[in-house]
Amino acid sequence: KVRVYNFGNGTSDGSSAMKNLLGSKGANLAEMSNLGIPVPPGFTITTETCSEYNQLGKDKVVSLLMTEVKLAIATVEKRMGTTFGSAENPCLLSVRSGSRVSMPGMMDTVLNLGMNDNSVAGLIAKTGNNRFAWDTYRRFVQMFGGVVLGVGAISKEDQNPFEEIIEKFKKDKGVELDTELDAEDLKRMVSDFKALCEVQTGAKFPDDPWDQLWASITAVFDSWMNPRAVYYRVMHQIPEEWGTAVNVQAMVFGNMGETSGSGVAFTRDASTGENIFNGEYLINAQGEDVVSGIRTPQQISLQGSKKWATLAGVSEENRKTQYPSLEELLPNTFKELNTTQAILETHYNDMQDLEFTIQEGKFWMLQTRNGKRTAAAMVKIAVDMLTIGMIDEKQALLMQEPSKLEELLHPVFDSEAIKNAKVLAKGLPASPGAATGQIVFFADEAHKYTDSILVRIETSPEDLEGMNIAKGILTARGGMTSHAAVVARGMGKCCVSGAEKININYKTRVMTIGSHVFNEGDWISLNGTTGEVYEGKIKNKDAELSADFDTIMNLADKYRTLGVRANAETQRECQNAIKFGAEGIGLCRTEHMFFEGERLARIREMILSTDEAGRREALNKLLPIHRNDLKEVLRAMENLPVTIRLLDPPLHEFIPHDLENQKEMALEMNVSVETIIQKVDNLKEFNPMLGHRGCRLGITYPEITEMQARAIIEAALELKAEGIATHPEIMIPLIGTVKELKLQKQLVKTIIEKVFEEKGDSIKYLIGTMIEIPRSCLTANQIAEEADFFSFGTNDLTQMGFGYSRDDAGKFLPIYIEKGILKVDPFQVLDQEGIGQLIEIATVKGRSFDPALKIGICGEHGGDPSSIEFCHRIGMDYVSCSPFRIPIARLAAAQAAI
Ligand code: PEP
Ligand code: MG
């Protein structure tokens, strides 16, 4: 078994087709080397080895790798003409993670590996540059100490201890910049850093390059299981068994002086999608200096540099002298980079995210990958590439990540409100969107407020979870390629980065902007599209959808075969559903119509009634209101099918459970509070979700079903009289045996016939059922005899199939996911293996009776891309989801059909 794949010098053992085995970074390094693009030579240890590592443990895997790694290092030494640990011409290495899909910053990286007292002398001998050599040594100890040895701040308010030492050196010397420290300072710093590591770990700092290498390789494997990587995987549904590869590569140095540098670039704008090559770099710096936000990076292109200067309020004079573009500073290198980016984009047919280093004028590519982008950019890039014929329609659709579309549908700031808002500061428009919230300064406190804005000097990968919870992110430092910016864009979260005017004090939990002082909990607003930071709350309005969005949606409709409907009950939801392209309503939950005002009072009156006559009286009062509400829904959905579900929840949900509200209800209903309390007691069930609900209500209180059937048909007939065509589909919930359906259906039909007679008119309608109890799946052939359609209620089906209470699963599901018992929350992503089988059985059995039986899904899963793919595969007719997920469903259905 081969565990190590070499690359470099225009050849490689792998290629971009081997992403699963080599990880994305490794596969693309191999591919670039094959394309003749300069990459520093190195090798990739496979992702399979990571899985072996997790099963067999460290010692075993190190011994399995020993021979291959030794050979691979020898190859790197030969290709570079250097020797590992040499005092004349040392070979230095970088060790990086790289899984199948990029997980920016989630796992570990070690640079400048191989540094010790010997190789520092070697580096001096080779370069004649004392300061550079000691700075490299200093960087290595800092990174290896932090990443591999876990040396860091003791509490979150504390500064990183390495940074603290650097600050102290600068203070003692009376200088401001790291670059003002000389070789002697750095030499002393190395020994202070080592001492710090030894104090914190209680062990000697490893000087042997081989010890450093094995510790780094195993640290990368270990980092696959670190909490932030685990969280990221759960968030993006990345399976644990994929594992990470380890890329070991010869170092090239961006910090060798004024003709060296490092940078990150995108072949197109990752925020807007515009076809503009852009990126950031720093002279005399290594890669992390650019992304960590420690120094303000400069723009690669002249055009980008001018745009940046305008945003940052920097004069043209200052820009040219202090922040010149790479295009101006090193024009030849810029040309080479520009040519390479074009080659790579055309080769991969997608927007690329690049990392490069310039060592004394020579240009090296360190990475290329499909770039993370906002939803707006995702849509625009695909349409632009389609227009020029670079990709075809199917490729354009496959380039879309359906779930991301939701970003485009959410509200933006109201343009009127924004005119009156006070701009506090301006940063970079790192990730578009509008966010209003209360300030928090620490990621693990983002949950303190329902709407929080995470305010940080800069973010680090540990902040991932808090960034996800917060409504928006504001950083004082960092550019468009900083960690905060990249991660926020990936999440579709509003982010303003590098707002240099803001000052943050973590210890006192205060942010100051000029003379304004903000405390934790104060409200601010961010516009991630312009980079503006505002005081207080700002009103939102609906998003406007672009022409490119329409293009992609129309393409999706061209290819999909699955219908898409909405779960909606109100007029507003219906309007949204239509706007987003719904072809009908798949679930109108009538109970949602009963939760307010007069409606709730009548339902309560019915519940409090002690006999049928009393219930009928209350229901009679509810009838005209219900009919009107239904009319509005049917009217909004003119000509389209509307599935209306009869009352489903246990009745206790309509009655308050706290004394305060019970007293209020007693007053309203004109009964004693004891009566209410007694009723609540009466309705109490051990397992209400498995209790008196669904069709069981209609069977025990037929008058409820009668009233609803009448309201639906009367509404439809009244609309018919107005000349409006409707297609009502009456749905009976929670059927477990065919008899239940038969009884309810008879009741509904009798009432409808009666209404037809009374009105002297009729209308076409359907009566169908929800399939949401396992028994109904297994007896679906019988149920099909009575049903015009099936709609899978996968919320209840998941609840009853797994035996997990929908309302209580939150207590243990996170632990189940953490322990790997479940990969994802089955209430969000359909469990195809188990619950999927129930659905398949029901589909096959149902259609064995009626091959044309109409089948849909209306549980939460109807809006989840992987679940939609399943629905397409087993031949459903439609999926139904919340209005905001309709575009996602249309796209996912198209992808499933391609
Ligand atoms: C379901 O159970 O999947 C469903 C759609 O019904 P509800 O969520 O209302 O129980
Ligand atoms: Mg249900």
pLDDT tens for 791-801 read: 999 999 999 99
Q: Can you give the pLDDT at residue 41?
A: 97
Of 91, 197, 695, 858, which one is the catalytic site residue?
A: 858
Range of the domain at 613: 560-650+685-897
Whether residues 440 and 532 share a domain: the answer is: yes
Residue whose pair of structure tokens reads 């397409």 in the numeric block? 872
* Residues around ligand 2, an ion, CB closer than 5 A: 772, 793, 796
What does the block give as tokens for 498?
Answer: 């590098």
Distance 706 CA to ligand 2 centre (A): 21
Digit-coded pLDDT (tens) for 471-491: 999 998 877 767 777 778 767
Q: Is the CB of 569 under 6 A from ligand 1?
A: no
Residue 846 pLDDT grade (very low, low, confident, very high; cuts 50, 70, 90)? very high
Query: Are 450 and 580 part of one and the same domain?
Result: no
Known catalytic membership, residue 626: no
Number of structural domains, the chain? 3
Sign of CA dihedral 221, 223, 227, 231: negative
What's the angle, vertex CA 864, arms to CA 862 and CA 866, rounded to 5? 110
Mean pLDDT of the chain: 92
Range list of H helices, 174-301: 183-201, 209-223, 227-236, 287-291
For the stretch 147-188, pLDDT in tens is: 999 998 888 878 889 999 999 999 999 988 877 899 999 999
pLDDT of residue 587: 96
Q: Is 648 in the pocket of ligand 1 (CB under 6 A)?
A: yes
Cβ(591) to ligand 1 under 6 A? no
In tens, the pLDDT along 427-443 reads 888 887 899 999 999 99
Q: Is 139 annotated as a binding residue?
A: no
Q: Is 772 annotated as a binding residue?
A: yes
Answer whether 872's CB lies under 8 Å from 894's CB: no
Walk across the sheet containing 109-113 and list its strands.
11-12, 4-8, 42-45, 244-250, 93-99, 109-113
Q: In what order do the strands lie in the sheet with 510-513?
A: 502-505, 510-513, 516-519
> What is the reported pLDDT for 10?
92
- Measure the CA–CA gap between 715 and 142, rounded to whole angstroms: 73
Q: How confident is the model at residue 293 (pLDDT cuts 50, 70, 90)?
A: low
Ligand 2 centre to CA of 286 (Å) is 56
592 is catalytic: no
Residue 115: inside a domain: no
The HSE-up count of residue 496 (CA atoms within 13 Å, CB side) is 31
User: In this predicted structure, which of 270-284, 461-475, 673-687, 859-873 has the lowest mean pLDDT?
Assistant: 461-475
275 lies in some domain: yes
The answer to whether the pTM exceeds 0.95 is no
Per-residue pLDDT tens over the stretch 619-649? 999 999 999 999 999 999 999 999 999 999 9
561 is in an annotated binding site: no
Pairing of strands 244-250, 93-99: antiparallel
pLDDT of residue 542 exceeding 80: no
| 729/760 same-domain check | yes
3-state secondary structure of 335: helix
CB atoms within 10 A of CB 270: 27
Residue 395 pLDDT class (50, 70, 90 cuts): very high
If asked whether residues 607 and 697 sit together in one domain, one would say yes
Q: State whether 586 and 537 are in the same domain.
A: no
Whether residue 398 lies inside any domain: the answer is no
Query: Residue 486: its pLDDT value, please?
Result: 73
Domain assignment present for 679: no
For the chain, percent of residues with pLDDT exceeding 70: 99
Please indicate whether residue 796, judged by its CB atom, sits closer than 6 Å to ligand 1: yes
CATH code of residue 597: 3.20.20.60
Mean pLDDT of 692-713: 97
Which of 795, 804, 864, 871 has most ligand 1 atoms within 8 Å of CB, for mutation? 795
Is the model's pLDDT at 82 over the cut of 70?
A: yes
User: Is the CB of 858 inside a 6 Å radius of any atom of ligand 1?
Assistant: yes
User: What CATH number does the domain containing 361 carry?
Assistant: 3.30.470.20
Closest ligand 1 atom, CA of 591? 9
Confidence at residue 415, expressed as pLDDT on a 0 to 100 scale: 75
Q: Do residues 690 and 639 both lie within one domain?
A: yes
Query: Does residue 202 form part of some domain?
Result: no
Cβ neighbors of 143 (< 8 A, separation 6 or more) are 109, 110, 111, 112, 288
Q: In angstroms, what is the span from residue 859 Cα to ligand 2's centroid?
A: 7
Please give the single-letter amino acid code of residue 257: G
Residues 639 and 770 in one domain: yes
How many angstroms does the Cα of residue 256 sit away from the middle of ligand 1?
63
- Residue 59 pLDDT > 80, yes or no? yes
Q: 727 lies in a domain?
A: yes
**Does residue 105 surpass a pLDDT of 90?**
no
Task: Please tell me whether residues 569 and 517 are part of one structural domain.
Answer: no
Residue of 483, 626, 861, 872 with catalytic role: 483
Going by pLDDT thresholds of 50, 70 and 90, the confidence category of residue 294 is low
- Does any ligand 1 atom lie closer than 6 A to the CB of residue 694? no
Confidence of residue 410 (pLDDT cuts 50, 70, 90): low
Annotate 327-345 with b (16+ C-beta within 10 A) or e (fewer).
bebbeebbebbbebbebbb
Report the pLDDT value the prediction gives residue 478, as an integer from 0 to 100.
75
User: With 80 as the cut, is the pLDDT of residue 810 above it?
Assistant: no
Residue 159: what pLDDT? 82
pLDDT at residue 237 in the model? 81
Please check whether residues 623 and 491 belong to one and the same domain.
no
Q: What per-residue confidence (pLDDT) applies to 292? A: 67
786 lines ligand 1 (CB under 6 A): no
C-alpha 830 – ligand 2 centre gap (Å) = 15
807 pLDDT more than 90: no
- Ligand-binding annotation for 795, yes or no, is yes
The verdict on whether residue 794 carries a ligand-binding annotation is yes
Residue 310 has pLDDT above 90, yes or no: no
Quick: pLDDT tens for 703-760: 999 999 999 999 999 999 999 999 999 999 999 999 999 999 999 999 999 999 999 9
Average pLDDT over residues 198-210: 95
pLDDT, tens digit (0-9, with 9 covering 90-100), for 485-526: 777 876 778 899 888 889 999 999 999 998 899 999 999 999
